[in-house]
Chains A and B, each alone.
Chain A
Amino acid sequence: MESSRRDLLKLGGACALGLTTLPLVKAHAKSDLPKVMDNPDALKGKRWAMVVDAKKCWEKGKEGCKDCIDACHKIHNVPDIGNVKEEIKWIWNEKFQHVFPGMESPHMAHDYHEKPFMVFCNHCGNAPCVRVCPTQATFKRPDGITMMDFHRCIGCRYCMAGCPYGARSFNFRDPRAFIKTELNMTFPTRERGVVEKCSFCEERLAVGLLPACVEACKHGALVFGDLEDPNSPVRKLLAEHFTIRRKPELGTEPGVYYIV
């Protein structure tokens, strides 16, 4: 087939013209109706938050209780990599001096040195991870949840450098071989090379369920609710108890409060 430069340019021009119709199609097909129907049972909030009642956790829970961790990790297909270096964790426990560095003192009650504090993503009001992510793979939802899009993440790990709480895990290898619990087919497994973390179980809130860890804790040590709603269980606890947050001086506005 003969083809000249002129023909090629014509073809290119025609293609470019074709592209300009895309916005027209989009404008024509525009609609205000939602593309997905909201579940009428969905839990709605303006700023989801959590209160961790450490006393309840220690006093009522058995030593070494891992109900909340197991429930979360099972439901989210979190792998058990088996080494500290590449560990993936959405919720886990740490000692006081690691959760609240700089706040410990040598003479405080023994319990505080030894007992576990549950830690997970703080869903900060002013989240550094969201600020630094170059692709908006980590973003803020209108309900206050700091969300992760596993399919957009490029694996640069800038968010991990940015998180002041070590709440983020990276899939250094293919996690699928390490999922030791029964596979939950309703939640995606991850590929190697992306970051993941606690999502306050947004997939459960959407169908009217509380986060898995909250539901799993038989002693009510984890309390979930809307910070903007004065009648929510978290607001009641915050009004009744003195609570602290992790590294409040950094201005991240953590959404997780601790009764100690």
Chain B
Amino acid sequence: MLERALYGSQRYFRWVLGLLILIGMGFGAYMIQLNKGLTITGMGRDVSWGFYIAQFTFLVGVAASAVMVVLPYYLHNVKVFGRITILGEFLAIAAVTMCLLFIIVDLGKPMRLLNVLLYPTPNSILFWDMVSLNGYLFLNIFIGWNVLEAERKGVHYPNWVKPLIYISIPWAVSIHTVTAFLYAGLPARHYWLTAIMAARFLASAFCSGPALLILLAYLVKKYTKFDPGQEAIDKLTNIVTYALLISVFFVGLEFFTAFYSQIPGHMHSLVYLFVGLEGHGKLVPFMWLFAILAVAALVLLLNPKTRRNEKTLKLACLFTFLSMWLEKGMGLVIAGFIPNPLEQVREYSPTIPELTIALGVWSTGAFILTILYKIATSVKEEVGEASH
């Protein structure tokens, strides 16, 4: 089936070429980092994880969200999702690949990466994250590929795929739970030390991922002959609305606990994020943008008129995705380090090479997604035409 990625319109090749250029730039910047060390990033001894790990964290959520189409389809027989489960699974493949790349570019000694396998350490959550992410990647590759191939041949997918599909459902929940546990179990970091971390992660995943999926479905509809179906989009919209509501509610819970208890350690990071701490407030504008976008998205999603209008729905999805990215892909990870364990405020901002590398990784994800979607839509077009 792979050969379908080799034929396409001029626009398709221009897009792929553009992505390859960005990937090349990212790779070049990574070569500099490999040579000089992580000193080329904005990270330091106080904020020792930055943009890379934040992107990783956010993208695990996007990957996990595939379950929001797989679960209703296979467990509740929601037939309208049948057409787009493949889009969800392929999105998961691209997102998990980006996650793994963001981990690799963050390592000080990437050449020693296999030490994680050579000295397996079950007490480290990072070890389990490696297990769950790689497992999820392979599950989605196997399932997506086999189901699509069966569809092309006009037969039912092989029976051994079914158990994998069922396993993939709790597995999707596990990848984001384990990723939340990376943070939620550290005694040193007040901001992360919260029992609802995994719940927050899942809620934000289940709005940002499906929001992206809706936007992608519209793109697919526009540029190919495959129509994911309005009904599927409507159902996804409901999921985004509920998940975004729950997400915002969870953030509110954090505020209540911190500010009603008045425990300084619990308040510090939130104060830093939203008004600035001891005169430092680099993230303040971004966090207010998060708040505004989240509220705007909610207004657009809750109002039936704007929810059913394609234009405003797209806008709402874009706002949802951006707001969750700001909250998780920026604020959450960085604010955990501010103030530092000695209660000093040392700020962080990413550098140009760091952002270039991150852009390279995002482009790699977009590249994989493009190729996979190209294959999927080509197959769907063929099958669709044959059935007419």
Q: Does B342 contact A (CB under 8 A)?
A: yes
| Pair A164/B341 contact, Cβ less than 8 Å | yes
Report the Cα distance A206→B269, complex, angstroms: 43
In order of increasing CB-CB distance, the 4 nearest A-B pairs are A155-B108, A193-B108, A85-B44, A164-B188
Point out which of B49, B107, B187 has the most chain A C-beta atoms below 10 A from its C-beta.
Answer: B187
Within 8 A of A (CB), among B169-196: 182, 186-189
Q: List 8 A-B contacts (CB under 8 A).
A: A85-B44, A87-B45, A88-B45, A134-B124, A157-B106, A164-B341, A172-B43, A173-B37
Residues of A close to B186: CB separation below 8 A: 128, 132, 161-162
Partner of A99, one of B121, B188, B342: B342
* Nearest CB on B from A131, distance (A): 6
| Pair A98/B37 contact, Cβ less than 8 Å | no
Interface residues, chain A, with chain B CB atoms under 8 Å away: 84-88, 94, 97-99, 101-102, 128, 131-137, 152-158, 160-166, 168-174, 191-195, 250-252
| Pair B341/A166 contact, Cβ less than 8 Å | yes
Interface residues, chain B, with chain A CB atoms under 8 Å away: 36-39, 41, 43-46, 48-49, 103, 106-110, 112-113, 115-116, 118-119, 121, 123-127, 130, 182, 186-189, 264-265, 336-337, 340-344, 346
| Pair B126/A84 contact, Cβ less than 8 Å | no
| Pair B107/A136 contact, Cβ less than 8 Å | no
Partner of A252, one of B38, B109, B187, B336: B187
Report the Cα distance A158→B46, complex, angstroms: 12
Looking at chain B's contact residues, the main secondary structure is loop
Closest partner residue, chain B, to A130 (CB atom) = B123
Looking at chain A's contact residues, the main secondary structure is loop
Known contacts A85-B45, A97-B343, A166-B45: A131-B39 contact under CB 8 Å: no
Closest partner residue, chain A, to B106 (CB atom) = A156
| Pair B48/A157 contact, Cβ less than 8 Å | yes
Report the Cα distance A135→B109, complex, angstroms: 12
| Pair B108/A166 contact, Cβ less than 8 Å | no
Known contacts A131-B124, A172-B38: A154-B109 contact under CB 8 Å: yes
14 more contacts with CB within 8 A, not counting A84-B44, A85-B46, A157-B108, are: A87-B45, A102-B265, A133-B121, A134-B130, A135-B116, A155-B38, A158-B126, A161-B49, A162-B186, A162-B188, A170-B38, A173-B38, A193-B108, A194-B109
| Pair B36/A173 contact, Cβ less than 8 Å | yes
Partner of B115, one of A132, A137, A168, A171: A137
Residues of B close to A163: CB separation below 8 A: 188, 341
Residues of B close to A134: CB separation below 8 A: 116, 121, 124, 126-127, 130
Residues of B close to A162: CB separation below 8 A: 186-188
Report the Cα distance A134→B115, complex, angstroms: 8
* Nearest CB on B from A14, distance (A): 25
Report the Cα distance A19→B121, complex, angstroms: 24
Partner of A161, one of B36, B118, B123, B336: B336
| Pair B126/A156 contact, Cβ less than 8 Å | yes
